[in-house]
Structure 1
């Protein structure tokens, strides 16, 4: 099994576990980012209170709205990302060693090369998986509304009846996106999302840099057992994600606005024709604050998810390599001399 495939599968497994743990926070954060009603903004509660409100008025299942396509998206996204990341990383390491042989550099991958590797991996990932995340955003922002108006068959009068709305599943979200904008609707928000590859690029650059410094410090101190622990990986992943999230959060808000259901009638302030139209309208009608809605929730969710992902992924890679090495040793020993 190739190193790229091991990293791809481990990344998918780590991403699924992180998603399961942090998904309710992600749902609340997406709603915070896409909220455009000033009255609701004034009444906005904290993250925990919002989660309680969703459960009370819509049920537990709404906190996990879009979980199935999200898990598929996470597995595909992390798998694709880590697979191509390892391929590009191997090429960068080979190029660094070649430069060292020519007397240039120390043979290690520099910060700029790490950034480029992460950015290229992110672009491939975005182009392949954007349709999944459009569907997930629609399902996360869909709200159940009770008290639907119903017309009496006998009198023709319109009355309020507590009618349970029909379920809104993956197929409904796909149909809604297609009805709005056709096939290209599934790549809505792809431009800010492509720019958003700077988030994992910055994240991985910081992570690799911090990890490299930690290993170098361990080696220079001559301590017994230089392996980096799972807890240290967790903390390095959290620190890297925190820095990346703070820098790129405004783009994430714009992406969520574009991928949410568009207001095609009524208030045109809430209808976005594209990325630049969304940015200009947000600045005009909401100010720069609009670009940082729900940032506190996002920091908690993304930092926790990234820390869990890095920790689980590294443990899975380590365990898989150990099993493969163990099996290889058994095969060698079982061969007749």
Structure 2
């Protein structure tokens, strides 16, 4: 097995474990990002993460926090596998180029920051183009209940408005309102989400939000630049101190991963909100300000109706979720790679002894 394939498998394994652990936070964060609140309205108490988690459990059960988990795990495995495979392929090429430059006397043989950014950006772009349809479905499934609630609220407001302008009232109005209140979101599985996306926008609907998502490849680029640079500095520092311990521990990898993801998340979060808004169901109420025809339209309407704060909704939740998930991912990935390298060494020794 090549080191690129090994990194792809390890990345997929680490991503799946991290996703399972942090998925409830991800579900709540996606709902926070797609909640439309205008500048002159106060956000509801459900905007607080813990309160919203408890509300989801109360109204939807534990399953509500894990809505869309199956396609999400598939997306995570595919995304992390694709990303880490191509990341390692491009990283190997970058290291070869750096070594050649050193021989020619134009470098120290190490990969620079710009090269790390380019490597991560290329791997991230390929990952986005191949796996974006999966994340469109995941976003739909995570926000389905929220979208249905908004639609029912719109119908309720329209019914009350009609009642005030007509003779509808009394028990007739109360019956209709009670009927609306008794309605619950219909079961919403992966196939339903696929059909809905296709009926709304055809095959191109599965690549909604692709522009901000492609721009967001700078997120893992920044993340890996910080991570690789910090790891390189840590190992170089130990080597210069002659500690003889250049292997980094799982805890140190966890902390380096957290630092890297924190920096990347804070700098690119507004793009993530725009992406989630575009991928979520657009039929939320009858207000045109809540519907987006594209990336630029979403940015303009968010700025106009929600202000700058709209681009940072749920950021505290995202920081906790993404930093913890990235830390777990890096730690598990490195441990899987260590185990693989150990098995590979043992296999080589066994083969060498058999030849002798």
Post-superposition CA distance 1:63-111 (Å, at most 9, x none): 0000000000000000000000000000000000110010011000000
Q: Does 1:81 align with 2:83?
A: yes
Q: What is the distance in 1 between the residues matched to 2:185 and 2:307? A: 35
Greater helix fraction, Structure 1 or Structure 2: 2
Contact 2:32 2:47 in 1 (8 A): no
Change (3 A) 1:45 1:195: closer
CA distance in 1, matches of 2:283, 2:145: 15
| RMSD, aligned CA | 1.9
Q: For residues 69 and 311 of structure 1, do their structure 2 counterparts lie closer, same or farther at Cα, with a shift above 3 Å needed?
A: same
Alpha-carbon distance between aligned partners in 1 of 2:257 and 2:51, rounded to the nearest angstrom: 28
Counterpart of 2:189? 169
Q: What pairs with 1:98-247 in structure 2 (closer than 5 Å)?
A: 98-143=100-145, 160=179, 162=182, 165-247=185-267
Cα contact 2:12–2:78 (8 A) shared by 1: yes
How far apart, CA to CA, are the structure 2 residues paired with 1:230 and 1:285? 45
Secondary structure at the aligned position of 1:306 is classed as helix
2:19 aligned residue = 19
**2:276 is the counterpart of 1:256:** yes
How far apart in 2 are the matches of 1:315 and 1:207? 16
Structure 1 contact 3–86 (Cα < 8 Å) conserved: yes
| Aligned residue in 2 for 1:94 | 96
The equivalent of 2:160 in structure 1 is: none
1:240-269 deviation per Cα after TM superposition (whole angstroms, max 9, x unaligned) = 000000100000000000000012772100
- In structure 1, list runs of 5 or more residues that go unmatched: 150-154
- Please report how far the alpha carbon of residue 329 of structure 1 lies from its aligned counterpart in structure 2 after TM superposition: 1.1
By how many angstroms is 1:59 displaced? 1.1
Query: Do residues 2 (structure 1) and 22 (structure 2) align?
Result: no
Task: Identify unmatched segments of 5+ residues in structure 2.
Answer: 156-171
Question: Which residue number in structure 1 is paired with residue 322 of structure 2?
Answer: 302
The alpha carbon displacement at 1:333 in A equals 1.1
Asked if structure 2 preserves the Cα contact closer than 8 Å seen for 1:254 and 1:275, the reply is yes
Asked whether the 8 Å contact 1:35–1:41 carries over to 2, the reply is no
| TM-score under structure 1 length normalisation | 0.94
Displacement of 1:166 after TM fit?
A: 3.2
- Asked if residue 58 in structure 1 is aligned to residue 60 in structure 2, the reply is yes
* Aligned-residue offset at 1:165: 4.3
Q: Distance in 2 between matches of 1:127 and 1:320?
A: 29
Aligned residues: 329
The 3-state SS of whatever aligns with 1:41 is coil
Contact in 2 for aligned 1:18/1:306 (Cα 8 Å):
yes
Question: Aligned partners of 2:229, 2:62: CA distance in 1, in Å?
Answer: 40
CA contact (8 A) 1:100 1:107 kept: yes
Tell me how far 1:142 sits from its aligned partner: 1.1
Q: SS of the residue aligned with 1:246?
A: helix
Q: Matched residue of 2:109: which SS?
A: coil
